[in-house]
Structure 1
Amino acid sequence: MKLIFAGTPEFAALALEAIIAAGHQVALVLTQPDRAAGRGMALRQSPVKLLAVGAGIEVLQPPTLKDAAVQERIRTVGAEAMVVAAYGLILPQAVLDMPRFGCINIHGSLLPRWRGAAPVQRAILAGDSETGVCIMQMDAGLDSGPVLLSERLPIASDETAASLHDKLARVGARLIVDVLARLPMVAQPQPEAGASYAAKVGKAEGILDWRLPAPQLAARVRAFNPYPGASCSLDGRVLKLWRAEAVAGAGSPGEVLVADRDGVVIACGEGALRVTELQSAGGKRLSVTQFLVGTRVRPGSRCAVSDS
């Protein structure tokens, strides 16, 4: 099948790789413009662009798809379908209508729950026991189109956004190849009951409020690993917390109760949080044992209580 692929991050790159391996002709790849990143703020190509260039596929990086010249370039491809995965740009109706089989989206949730930009993080934050992938026929709404194929996936109690992302990406890559082989398919309209919106995650959300119950804070640590990272200020020193679990404990919110090889235990609004992997500003991610070798943390010291 002659296709256009639109996507940007690693989640999308895995799907593109599977589509190429399945023998489809990807005539054009759309991806976000190169972005400045890292300490040197050098321009960085997206994972999708790197894969496409390596495969010899033409890459187009418009800042918008509303431009008439961009739309004409898409039209001239004559694609039978456009596959979209975490692209990051809105597709105008004119673009949605161009391919014979329309535009088909890979979405990392069980629609209509968690429509929007951050379904993986929001599912973990909400304490959902399962999520999944939907292959959806796109319409003008926000992830509201009918579903062609879906698959459920349990969320483990220690699941991070990183680990869940990777599982969903593999499922999405497999399902999109299945759908492309079966087109045309009958799509099932989404029910409106149970619809929810997964807002984009902001950096400020990672700042922990120790007045919250420990299970909520543990969920935040997992949901914000790797981005933006859960953080706190301990005696004026900013720390990133990468692995933690809710445990029994009582004290003033933000108070360090224990600091030993088993973890740094910090009192919460209810219960306590045992941190087992953390990082100082400018340092590396370390196990608690490694961290305490170079950094002294005393019981009774305090994490600042945030108003986040």
Structure 2
Amino acid sequence: MKILLLAHSFNSLTQRLWVELSELGHEVTCEFDVNDAVTIQAVEMARPDVIVAPFLKRAIPEAVWKSRLCLVVHPGPPGDRGPAALDWAILEGREEWGVTVLQAESGMDEGPVWASRAFPLRHATKSSLYRNEVADAAVAAVIEALGRLPGGPAGRPALLPFKPAVKQAERAIDWSRDDTATVLRKIRSADGTPGLLDGMLGRPVYLHDAHHAAGLSGRPGELVARSGQAVARATTDGAVWIGHLRAKEAHALKLPALDVLGPLDHLPEAPGYHDIWYDERHGVGYLHFPFVNGAMSTDQCRRLKDAFVTAAQRPTRVIVLMGGPDFWSNGIHLCTIESAPSPAGESWANINAMNDLCREIITCGSHFTVAAMQGNAGAGGVFMALAADLVAARETVVLNPHYKGMGNLYGSEYWTYLLPRRCGDDNARRVVEARLPMGAAEAERLGLIDCRFGRGVPEFRRLVEEMAEALAADLGLEERLAAKRLARAADEAEKPLERYRAEELEHMTLNFYGFDPSYHVARYNFIHKVPKSRTPLYLARHRQK
């Protein structure tokens, strides 16, 4: 079937549908909904059997939905209407929510329903729910809807009252009255862009990355502690950690809280907010690093490297690199780079810190290492995973194993050593040149990952633990480790790791400091969410002709 994805941008759900529908054998192309004329032209060129709209910010042109079947993915149950369905669900404390695939008509979210799915609404941020439960439900509902063709929709539900976008005033925190659960709901409902507007130390800021601060309390609204770069703020019945802030200023970026507020050394240091932690069971060490948006700053890379080195000194046999449930890693931290006095200098420091971490994983001869990709990964984060002895991925993760979309960035993390070793030279070139998202099934076929299992995060974690503990108990593990050390020594004798690194960084020097500003322009546009004026040809396959 020829399917045109019509979207505002190539966001996580659009990527997921691209991967899943392509895997099913459909001919998929994508067009960004820039304006009516562009959309109408794209439909004329693509001649799709059906248009699927997973992420739009405006109505589909009448000329399009009257001439072609247009299936809109709405992140709410049948009958729900409005552009902020998930925001309202979190704010109102719903226990169950859903996704509906409906046919586009003149009234927004009023068309006949083709399929729907429901799911429990866990206590999580909007972006986490969207990336997991909403995406899973959307994929299942879209596939069911396509299976109804050439028939018709399932029916029309009773329409619920239309809910407009949530205003900041409707989720503003009243620190004198709101308890911890209410504060967390409000911040989580606004997670992403722009965040929840509030004031802190006399400055208007948007709040992000909020968590319960167990054991802390104080006068409601006051800052009561710090932990790493996070600050704790008291509620009526406890406190919450605020990990990241964005100043209400032109071109301000989401950054660790103390990078925005200053050091605040007068606040007591308290445990509780962690972006890296380690636990150990049955001969296995688990290293967790659920960094916000999967981005790894220079400081985070250095701390994670130190944590890995410490883990490798433990009397265990296996180390599992867990990443986080939403993202495993997306490589260098473009926000901290963009906000640095010298973005080129910070880019250089960041990529070298990433390389130092990757080198420790590659050269670890004492332990068998596993990269357990619970969440999505991109760019250098994918290649960091390849440094491990075994790469396991959750069935539904989406990988973007390429750099070129960021202004033709060359990339490092020893990818020129790791990727061909796993995939072969031909597949390695295919991977880095494609610029397209990849599902776990394709990644396994290419040799990028070793195995895939588990659809949900809890199931994946359980299976990873079973696999890791079996590896640790395997009587043949010492032989495998000895063979690993010999193979690494042979590879080093043939071509030292430092030569791969030097060759990669020679290209990166031109990206960061050279005359071509493409990387810096692409980074700025990405960080500030500058909308694209046209769809890249590698997505708009209908325009390649």
The equivalent residue for 1:254 is 221
In 1, Cα distance between equivalents of 2:104 and 2:169 = 31
The equivalent residue for 1:285 is 256
Q: Letter of the aligned partner of 2:30 in structure 1?
A: V
Please report how far the alpha carbon of residue 153 of structure 1 lies from its aligned counterpart in structure 2 after TM superposition: 0.9
Q: Letter of the aligned partner of 1:187 in structure 2?
A: A
| 1:266 equivalent in alignment to 2:241 | no
Q: For residue 116 of structure 1, give the secondary structure of its aligned residue in structure 2.
A: coil
**Structure holding more strand per residue:** 1
CA contact (8 A) 1:145 1:190 kept: no
In 2, Cα distance between equivalents of 1:133 and 1:283 = 29
Residues 8-157 of structure 1 mapped to structure 2, 5 A cutoff? 8=9, 9-26=11-28, 28-32=29-33, 62-63=34-35, 65=36, 67=37, 71=40, 74-75=43-44, 77-99=46-68, 102-113=69-80, 115-157=81-123
In 2, Cα distance between equivalents of 1:10 and 1:241 = 19
The equivalent residue for 1:197 is 163
Please report how far the alpha carbon of residue 249 of structure 1 lies from its aligned counterpart in structure 2 after TM superposition: 9.1
Q: For residue 141 of structure 1, give the secondary structure of its aligned residue in structure 2.
A: coil
In 2, Cα distance between equivalents of 1:4 and 1:178 = 17
Q: Letter of the aligned partner of 1:31 in structure 2?
A: F
Distance 1:24 1:137, change over 3 A: same
The equivalent residue for 2:143 is 177
In 1, Cα distance between equivalents of 2:241 and 2:222 = 13
Distance 1:130 1:275, change over 3 A: same
The equivalent residue for 2:175 is 210
Deviations 1:37-65 (A, max 9, x none): xxxxxxxxxxxxxxxxxxxxxxxxx42x2
In 2, Cα distance between equivalents of 1:241 and 1:128 = 21
Deviations 1:207-245 (A, max 9, x none): 643244223322111112223223543333555342133
CA contact (8 A) 1:221 1:244 kept: no
In 1, Cα distance between equivalents of 2:2 and 2:246 = 49
What's the TM-score once normalised by structure 1's chain length?
Answer: 0.69
Deviations 1:272-295 (A, max 9, x none): 432253447567436x9x999943
Distance 1:222 1:216, change over 3 A: same
Deviations 1:179-227 (A, max 9, x none): 21331243220202x434151x567777643244223322111112223
In 2, Cα distance between equivalents of 1:204 and 1:107 = 25
The equivalent residue for 2:6 is 6
Identity value in percent? 23
The equivalent residue for 1:160 is 125
Q: For residue 101 of structure 2, give the secondary structure of its aligned residue in structure 1.
A: strand
In 2, Cα distance between equivalents of 1:155 and 1:228 = 22
Distance 1:229 1:163, change over 3 A: same
Distance 1:163 1:145, change over 3 A: same
The equivalent residue for 2:154 is 187
Please report how far the alpha carbon of residue 142 of structure 1 lies from its aligned counterpart in structure 2 after TM superposition: 0.8
Distance 1:173 1:264, change over 3 A: same
The equivalent residue for 1:223 is 189
Deviations 1:109-134 (A, max 9, x none): 11323x22222222111111111111
Distance 1:30 1:293, change over 3 A: closer
Q: For residue 136 of structure 1, give the secondary structure of its aligned residue in structure 2.
A: strand
What's the TM-score once normalised by structure 2's chain length?
Answer: 0.41
Q: For residue 199 of structure 2, give the secondary structure of its aligned residue in structure 1.
A: strand
CA contact (8 A) 1:112 1:196 kept: no
The equivalent residue for 2:319 is none
Distance 1:209 1:103, change over 3 A: same
CA contact (8 A) 2:3 2:50 kept: yes
Aligned pairs, how many?
255
In 1, Cα distance between equivalents of 2:53 and 2:3 = 11
**Structure holding more helix per residue:** 2
Q: Letter of the aligned partner of 1:78 in structure 2?
A: R
Distance 1:232 1:22, change over 3 A: same
Distance 1:237 1:293, change over 3 A: closer
Deviates more, 1:210-219 or 1:275-284: 275-284
